[in-house]
Amino acid sequence: MEPESAVSVESPIPLFPTLPATVPTVSDPRLTWMERTPQKRLMLFSGRSNPELGEKIAERLGIELGQATLKTFTNGEVYCRYEESVRGADMFIVQSCSSPTNDSLMELLIMINAARLASAKRITAVMPWYPYSRQDKKSSPREPITSKLVADMIEAAGADRVLTMDLHAGQLQGFFKIPVDHMTSVPLLAEHFKLVLGNVAPEEIVVVSGDAGRAKLAKKFSEMLGAGFALITKERPEQQVAEVTNVIGRVRDKICIVIDDIIDTAGTLCAGGDALLEHGATAVYACATHAVFSGPALENLADSVFKQVVVTDTIPGNLVKRPDNVRVLSVAPILADTISNVFNDDSVSGLFHGGNQLF
């Protein structure tokens, strides 16, 4: 009997074949993403309300102001067009919303909106002077809170951040849902008076608050000078009208420096200077951040008892009509350093050692 022939049985095909130990490389893989080194581009533009300040800030930063076409049509409408690409840029728009206030504010809103539609990455409204800041509450029935309205308009236009100086009330920052950098010129003013009154002993100097609302500001200013502190009380029978009622504190035989955030018509300020002399002050100075100088302000200051009135350039002034006793300091270095820190994601309060929130 012949042996059965061997039958070869094929191995079944495995249902889950083993993958090779090494995956073959693809010479030209198609990626689903793209990596790019983080790039940031600072661009600075200025509206027409205070171009001189914009130029000073740009010079401090070592850049040129961006080119933008701004026109006002015969019917009063404002036109804006950026003459260079702003796509992806970190934009800073400098605009002091000074007189004509409504025109300057509307121009800022249009510039912000144009930048937003042009795909700027971040838009910061640099507003050295914040308009309608004194209308921050309802003092009587059926009144608006206009400073809150302005904040809503700036946000609606597309701003990502606001940079401003010496708000009439620090609480205005709470009107915004976006970050607000609140700068102050008080250290700048203090350094100026340290030079002017360098030969005078600090105990012979008294810093005077223009009203009770400025007491905190004046107290901080007096600490910077190592001087005393006093307060002028006044009443407001109606809007833009104030009457000095009393001087609280020792000012006799002292050099007085009246400090406020705003000088408008200067009527109340001049009345306060007269009251200080009547109470025995030997000399009177004044200082403020915002030189609104409306109505007869320049004439009032020219005829006043103040030896020197120091303001800043947050609002452009009339160099021709400016009295000899009015001195203007520039806040461009403060704003430029703040812009630089915001752009570089550095601390802003560090510029003031945290003191910018104390006013």
18 occurs within a structural domain: no
Q: Is the pLDDT at 239 greater than 80, yes or no?
A: no
Distances (CA, A) of 169 to 165, 217, 229, 251, 343: 11, 11, 21, 27, 26
Residue 26 lies inside a defined structural domain of this protein: no
* pLDDT number for residue 233: 85
Q: Is 257 in a helix, a strand, or coil? A: strand
On whether both 168 and 59 belong to a single domain, the answer is yes
Rounded CA separation 97/106 (Å):
9
**Does 68 have pLDDT greater than 60?**
yes
Q: Is the domain of 210 the same as that of 315?
A: yes
What does the pLDDT average to over 302-331?
93
Q: Are residues 204 and 304 in the same domain?
A: yes
In this structure, are residues 283 and 257 in contact, taking their beta carbons and an 8 Å threshold? no
Judge whether 226 lies within some domain: yes
76 and 96 both lie in a single domain: yes
Q: DSSP letter at 26?
A: P
The answer, yes or no, to whether residue 262 has pLDDT greater than 80, is yes
Most confident option among 6-20, 29-43, 110-124, 263-277: 110-124
Number of domain units in the chain: 2
- The confidence score (pLDDT) of residue 222 equals 94
With CA atoms as reference, report the closest residue to 309 among 294, 288, 283. Answer: 288
DSSP secondary structure letter of residue 88 = T
Residues 317 and 342 in one domain: no
- In this structure, are residues 122 and 158 in contact, taking their beta carbons and an 8 Å threshold? no
Strand order in the sheet with 42-46: 42-46, 90-94, 122-127, 161-165, 180-183
Query: Which pLDDT belongs to residue 275?
Result: 92
Residue whose tokens read 């934009």: 91
- My answer on whether 176 and 199 are in the same domain is no
pLDDT reading at 185 higher than 70? yes
* 31 belongs to a structural domain: no
CATH code at position 98: 3.40.50.2020
φ, ψ of residue 205 in degrees (nearest 5)? -115, 140
**Pairing state of beta strands 68-72 and 78-82?**
antiparallel
342 and 310: one domain?
A: no
**Domain membership of residue 128 as a residue range:** 42-184+335-346
Give residue-wise pLDDT tens across range 193-225: 999 998 999 999 999 998 877 888 899 999 999
CA–CA distance, 104 with 199 (Å, rounded to integer): 43
Please tell me whether residues 161 and 284 are part of one structural domain: no
Q: Which helix (H) or strand (E) holds 161?
A: strand 161-165
Evaluate whether residue 357 is within a structural domain. no
Report the range of poorest mean pLDDT among 48-57, 115-124, 242-251.
Answer: 242-251
Q: In this prediction, what percent of the chain has a pLDDT beyond 70? A: 85
Q: pLDDT digits over 138-184, tens only?
A: 988 999 999 999 999 999 999 999 999 999 988 899 999 999 999 99
Other Cβ atoms closer than 10 A to 7: 5
Q: Are residues 207 and 169 in the same domain?
A: no
Model confidence at 38: pLDDT above 90:
no
Whether 28 is in a domain gets the answer: no
Q: Which residues are catalytic?
A: 234
- Asked if the model's pLDDT at residue 244 lies above 90, the reply is no
Side-chain half-sphere exposure of 82, counting CA atoms within 13 A = 25
Same domain, 274 and 173: no
Judge whether 238 lies within some domain.
yes
CA–CA separation, 279 and 301 (whole Å)? 20
- Rounded to whole angstroms, the Cα distance separating 333 from 59 reads 10
**pLDDT tens digit sequence for 87-97:** 999 999 999 99
Do 273 and 325 belong together in one domain?
Answer: yes
**In-domain check, residue 174:** yes
Query: CA 175: distance to chain centroid?
Result: 15
Query: Does residue 196 share a domain with residue 147?
Result: no
